[in-house]
Amino acid sequence: MPFFASELNAAWRKRAKELGRDPTPEEGEVIEAELVEAWISAQRFDELITRFLSEYGREGGNLDLIILGHALRQRKDAARIHKLFRSVVNNRGDHNYLSVRRECARKFAPRTSRTELA
């Protein structure tokens, strides 16, 4: 991860120089997202998997995990998909599974009457 961090710091400094000030937290998130996209385009999957698993071991990072998983799926890279998501499931355990299941049940529960659909 030091390599990602050093590239992120370099991108941050470059953007600060362009803006003439330090980037805001929101601009920082954009800088990081652009770097992740660049690494995906460069097919630096193993480095991203390692970074995401160390940074998002127990929580967070769902959007990054989805984006990387989608890129791996497009390339039909089943081995890396399993490496990424098996580790996430193992690290987050049953608690995360149960909370996701409850949230899905809440959002996608069948409606009790047809009048609610109108």
Mean pLDDT per block of 10 residues along the chain (118 residues) reads: 83 95 94 93 94 80 86 92 84 62 60 45
Give tens-digit pLDDT for 66-77. 889 899 999 999
Q: What is the pLDDT of residue 15?
A: 95
Q: What is the pLDDT of residue 60?
A: 74
Q: What is the pLDDT of residue 66?
A: 86
Retrieve residue 19's tokens. Answer: 């803006």
Dihedral over alpha carbons 108, 90, 52, 29 (to 10 degrees): 30
Long-range contacts of 18-22 (CB under 8 A, 24+ apart): none
Q: What is the pLDDT of residue 11?
A: 94
Q: What is the pLDDT of residue 116?
A: 45
Residue with tokens 């929101």: 26
Q: What is the pLDDT of residue 42?
A: 94
Q: What is the pLDDT of residue 104?
A: 58
State pTM to two decimals.
0.69
| Distance of alpha carbon 67 from alpha carbon 80, whole angstroms | 13
Distances in whole angstroms, Cα of residue 55 to Cα of each of 16, 45, 69: 24, 15, 16
Retrieve residue 51's tokens. Answer: 């970074």
